[in-house]
Amino acid sequence: MSLYSSFPDGFSPGAVIRDVLGADMIPGRVFYVGNNATKLKGEKDAADASYLRSGSFFQPFATIDHAINQCEANRNDVILVRPNHAETIADATSLVMDTAGVHIVGMGHGENRPTITFATAAAAAIPVTGANCSISNLVLKCNIASQNRMIDVAADDLLIKNCDFREGSATGLTFIAADTADRDSDRLEIVGCKFHAPTAGNYDAAILLGKDYTGVRIVDCDIYGDFDVAGISVPDSGNAQDDLRIVRCQVDNVQTGDHAIEINGTGNTGMIVECYLQGDTLASIVDSGGLSMFETYVHDKADQSYAIVTGTVVS
């Protein structure tokens, strides 16, 4: 009996392999993007222009933006970005998520994941203006001083999942920012992402919520860096967050005297739950901005731990 099967009857409940939904279970179209140097037998050479390719596995598009332009709004098309794909973004127009209901999924693990590097202009970014989109399993690196933000959120129901945000050869200002208009980024979800910015320089925050939103979720994120403001920042311009949840996050701000989480004002609702936060000054590690806190711990890197219970620090 053969050990292999093509599963002619499919997978009735669906199948997820390495966090990627089986292509036959996707309701829209599937496009591949890849410029990896190592070719498979039968794969079309990268020298061929994108418009000559079909976007199939063996004829992948050269850029993510070209794949987005082939998608139809809210058809739930999926763009699978092949391992070792690399793009350099030099402005805010080269890669724009402006089609609703598109899902970008990076393939591979570790350093074999697709990598997007930002360079040349401080305005280099990925604007997201299409609602109901998702971005997952990408590595994003900053190679331009004072980059304003990597992902510029201006659409409802964006999911950013399992991505790595890193400083590269330079330090920027913010990794993910939603600050265009009130209620234009409701239900933003940032899940399982890592943020790494250890060099003292320009970084203000890893995540910025600069306007008022409903239902934002920041879950299972690992943030480490030298942030002038906070790892997670909600300034006065965003101080009316409704049902904001920050859950199971680890935030370590190595900037002297600054916050791991800073939520300005008291007009916010929501929760900070099961978070572990570090800074060098106990009183400045977290400003909850009116959010309830449950099982959230702060540490000033001394030889003892501290817990925050209903806003009161106890040793």
Alpha helix (H) residue ranges in the chain: 64-69
Evaluated on CA atoms 68, 69, 70, 72, the torsion sign reads positive
**pLDDT for the residue 315:** 40
Q: How confident is the model at residue 302 (pLDDT cuts 50, 70, 90)?
A: confident
In a domain, 225, yes or no: yes
Q: Would 91 be classed as within a structural domain?
A: no
In a domain, 253, yes or no: yes
The confidence score (pLDDT) of residue 170 equals 95
58 compared with 191, residue with greater pLDDT? 191
Q: Is the pLDDT of residue 245 over 90?
A: yes
Compute the distance between CA of residue 77 and CA of residue 6 in angstroms, rounded to an integer: 24
Residue bearing the bigger pLDDT, 293 or 49 = 293
> What's residue 15's pLDDT?
47
CA distances from 162 to 108, 141, 194, 258 (A): 12, 15, 7, 26
Distance CA 154, CA 125 (A): 12
Poorest-pLDDT segment among 52-61, 125-134, 187-196: 52-61
Residue 64: inside a domain, yes or no? no
155 found inside a domain: no
**Cβ-based burial of 49 (10 A; exposed 0-12, middle 13-18, buried ≥19):** exposed
Q: Which H or E element spans position 20? A: strand 20-21
CA atoms in the 13 A half-sphere facing the CB of 144? 21
Please choose, from the candidates 189, 174, 62, the residue with its C-alpha nearest in 3D space to the C-alpha of residue 122: 174
pTM: 0.89
At position 185, the amino acid (one-letter code) is S
Q: What percent of the chain has pLDDT over 70?
A: 84
DSSP one-letter code for 44: P
- Over 70: is that where the pLDDT of 47 sits? no
Q: So what's the pLDDT on residue 308?
A: 65
pLDDT of 145 higher than 50: yes
Tokens at residue 208, please?
């910025």
pLDDT of 48 > 70? The answer is no
Pair type for strands 16-17 and 20-21:
antiparallel
Structurally, the chain folds into a number of domains equal to 1
105 three-state secondary structure: strand
Find out whether 285 and 298 touch, Cβ atoms under 8 Å: yes
Rounded Cα gap, residues 35 and 47, in angstroms = 9
Q: Is residue 67 part of a domain?
A: no
d(CA 256, CA 314) in angstroms, rounded, equals: 22
Q: Which of 164, 221, 212, 211 is nearest to 189 (CA)?
A: 221
In angstroms, rounded to a whole number, what is the distance separating the alpha carbons of residues 288 and 67? 41
115 pLDDT band, cuts 50/70/90, is very high
Strand order in the sheet with 30-33: 30-33, 78-81, 103-106, 134-136, 159-161, 189-191, 217-219, 244-247, 270-273, 292-294
What rounded mean pLDDT belongs to the chain? 88
Question: For position 24, what pLDDT does the model report?
Answer: 47
pLDDT at position 244 is 98
Segment (H or E) for 230: strand 230-234
Label residue 57 by pLDDT band (50, 70, 90). Answer: confident
Q: Which domain holds residue 280?
A: 173-315
Report pLDDT digits (tens) over 16-42.
454 555 544 567 899 999 987 777 776
282 lies in a domain? yes
List Cβ neighbours of 306 (8 Å cut-off, separation of 6 or more).
282, 297, 298, 299, 300, 313, 314, 315
CB 221 within 8 A of CB 189: no
Residue 269, burial from CB neighbour count under 10 angstroms (0-12, 13-18, 19+):
middle
Please state whether beta strands 296-299 and 306-309 pair in parallel, antiparallel, or not at all (unpaired). antiparallel
Is 5 inside any structural domain? no
Of 52-66, 96-110, 193-207, 299-313, the poorest mean pLDDT is in 299-313
